[in-house]
């Protein structure tokens, strides 16, 4: 179980690596928290990704709880990364994941 700081360090590294590798969409598995109410890692990942979106370091941030089969942002991500289509039902409304478009 990583600390919040360790998790955020990994997030920064993975975003940089993905950008350098030409990857356009990431599915981030951050978990939902062991108490079932949402954990500190999830909260900090969301805070960081919202800030990155506002400063245009990323193009799109979609929390898993907002991801769905029919949502416009969800469909846009699947057009960019058709591989996401395979798991759309299990990923829909999943608060333990988030999606990022670089």
- The residue-averaged pLDDT of 2-25 equals 96
DSSP string, the chain: ---HHHHHHHHHHHHHHHHHHT--EEEEE----TTSS--HHHHHHHHHHHHHHHTTSSSEEEEGGG--SS-HHHHHHHHH-GGGGGGHHHHTT-TTEEEEE-
pLDDT at 1: 79
Smallest CA-to-CA distance from 99 within 68, 44, 69, 60 is with 60
pLDDT at 32: 86
pLDDT at 34: 65
| pTM over 0.75, yes/no | yes
Could you report the per-residue pLDDT of 29-71, keeping only the tens digit for each? 999 876 656 689 999 999 999 999 999 999 999 999 999 999 9
pLDDT at 99: 98
């Amino acid at each position: 179980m990583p600390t919040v700081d360790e998790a955020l360090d990994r997030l920064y590294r993975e975003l940089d690596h993905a950008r350098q590798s030409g990857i356009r969409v990431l599915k981030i598995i951050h978990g939902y928290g062991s108490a079932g109410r949402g954990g500190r890692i999830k909260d900090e990942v969301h805070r960081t990704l919202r800030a990155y979106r506002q400063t245009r370091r990323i193009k799109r941030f979609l929390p898993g709880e907002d991801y769905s089969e029919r949502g416009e942002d969800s469909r846009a991500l699947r057009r960019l990364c058709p591989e996401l289509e395979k798991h759309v039902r299990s990923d829909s409304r999943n608060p333990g994941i988030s999606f990022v478009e670089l």
